[in-house]
Amino acid sequence: MTENYTALYEQHKKAGASFTDFGGWQMPLKYSSELAEHHAVRNAAGLFDLSHMGEVWVTGPDAAAFLDYALTGKLSAVAVGKAKYSLICDADGGIIDDLITYRRADDKFLVVPNAGNAKVVARALAQRAANFDVTVEDASAQTSLIAVQGPNAEAILLKLVPADQHALVTELKYYAAVEVGISFGGTVRDLLVARTGYTGEDGFEIYVPNLDAPALWEALLEAGEGSGLVPAGLACRDSLRLEAGMPLYGNELSRQGNPYAAGLGPVVSLAKESDFVGKEALGALKTAGVGATIGQKLVGLKGTGRRAARGHYPVLKDGALVGEVTSGQPSPTLGYPVAMAYVDVEFAEPGTVLDVDLRGKPESFEVVALPFYKRQK
Amino acid sequence: MSKVVSELKYSAEHEWVAVDGSGPAGIGISAVAADALGDIVYVDLPEVGSTVTAGETCGEVESTKSVSDLYAPVTGEVVEINDGVVSDPALINSDPYGAGWLFKVAVTEEGPLLSAEEYAAANGGEL
């Protein structure tokens, strides 16, 4: 696989980042301590480079009808300015990716897939567009994405927004996006700002052309001085999203899995009038009771000891294999090990005590409701 | 770059050994290993009075991101463990060759150990 570098690679190097491959991209894993970065996002703010994420624009008179067909959600029901979390599934119901779709106009949507899936999603959308009057344009290579996440995110962002546009930011709802003037590098540029994130905190994701990304990154860091803002890497992004109970494609979600086992049944609109890719298979899975009365279900696990469960560790009940951990680590915020795991539905009830095989030693974990962490509003 | 202390010896599994004349040898993990693991949140050490065998696992070190076995670099009886590092494993990150030491062994036999130069050359540390 070729290595991709974001437009902010030099900024990360300068900040002392250690890098990791993620979805074919060289991304900052951490700058100093992933624990310090995690706590900064929970208590102050963190600055993330998410430029590895994809950006696929869908435009044209049939854009809404097309996305109703291509994705599991009812995108035609999304108001202009709002966003929706959805899935793109195979005909057999397997999950190709989870994605956020922003409606920018009646006939214009921005679809944001995960880094490692961006090309696959763009290709699948292009294929599914055959009978629709739409244009599918993969702008991933030209677009950077910078996120400011944490309780101080709004105050930091406002420092770069002209006063007469502050209300656009302060009144922006969760899962909504708006074009806002942002002042950096000597001028004010209109950029798409979304109130979304993957950390369980309030925060913003800002779409910016690659050329402008370094100057915006520097301006945000400067605006965050005195507000506890630190650059934050993928290591803490993973621990933050795990605490917030958010699935990661490749860990909790895959082609072999399905939305019902993953607890994402509500994201599948079987009720929408139009046909969509995967509808028949997904309807059959739901009718069969997958993730409810048969098969496995994604659950939260809370460790009772200090040792953490990790991805792929076996989950046991009375010594018998009943599941597998998908993600796990010590929770920096909560102070005990947390994990997500697929377990047989009969053991998925919160309060059930199971064992995780920690490298040969069983350690007891309790099934708990997700998320592990919910911020105080 | 992670520091490698020149007065110590090292195992290929990233433990350092401080051989102190005839006294017990202090043992810890190198800054190279601590940095690679990330923030260490849990450490499982051998018990005082137990015997460890060079090249065999004798505990584990767990960070937020991963877990790694601890290998005994020498054979002998464990005579002391660092309680400070059990209650505050972050000492391994902040001071791997000092306050982050792990345990002491009355050595009966050394395992294959590298000099600081050899270890640094093999693992990209800085002397």
Query: 3-state secondary structure string, A76-138?
Result: HHCCCCEEEEEEEECCCCCEEEEEEEEEEECCEEEEECCHHHHHHHHHHHHHHCCCCCCEEEE
For residue B42, is pLDDT > 70?
Answer: yes
pLDDT score for B125: 85
Which residues on A lie below 8 Å from B90 (Cβ)?
35
Contact status of B41 with chain A (Cβ, < 8 Å): yes
Name residue B28's amino acid.
G
| Residue A150 contacts residue A42 (beta carbons within 8 Å) | yes
Extract the tokens encoding A144: 């950077």
- Smallest CA–CA distance, residue B19 to chain A, in Å, is 31
Beta strands at A177-184 and A143-149: parallel, antiparallel or unpaired: unpaired
pTM: 0.92
CB A67 within 8 A of CB A76: yes
B38 closest CB neighbour out of A34, A307, A308: A34
Min Cα–Cα distance to chain A from B65, Å: 7
Residue A1: which pLDDT band, with cuts at 50, 70 and 90? low
Among B50, B39, B57, B23, residue whose Cα is nearest residue B100: B39
d(CA B67, CA B42): 9
Chain B residues lying within 8 Å of A338, measured CB to CB = none
pLDDT of residue A293: 97
Query: What architecture is the A4-53+142-242 domain classified under in CATH?
Result: 2-Layer Sandwich (3.30)
CA dihedral A32, A37, A40, A46 (to 10 degrees): 100
Say how far residue A376 (Cα) sits from the centre of its chain: 20
Query: Quick one: pLDDT band at residue A375, thresholds 50, 70, 90?
Result: very high
pLDDT band per the 50, 70, 90 thresholds, residue A337 = very high
pLDDT of A196 higher than 70? yes
pLDDT of residue A376: 83
Residues of chain A that touch chain B, judged by Cβ-Cβ distance less than 8 Å: 30, 33-35, 38, 235, 238-239, 306-308, 310, 329-330, 332, 359
Residues in A closer than 8 angstroms to B92, CB to CB, are none
Phi-psi region of A24 (alpha: psi -120 to 50; beta: other; left: phi over 0): left
Q: What's the half-sphere exposure (Cβ side, CA atoms, 13 Å) at B1?
A: 9
Q: What is the CATH number of domain A245-368?
A: 2.40.30.110
Contact B67 A239 (CB under 8 A): no
Judged against a pLDDT cut of 80, whether residue B21 lies above it is answered with no
Report the complex ipTM: 0.76
- Per-residue pLDDT at A256: 96
Tell me whether residues B42 and A35 touch, CB distance under 8 A: no
- Contact between B67 and A30 using a beta-carbon 8 Å cutoff: no
Q: Where are the domains of chain A?
A: 4-53+142-242, 245-368
Give residue-wise pLDDT tens across range B80-112: 999 999 999 999 999 999 999 999 999 999 999
User: What is the average pLDDT score of chain A?
Assistant: 97
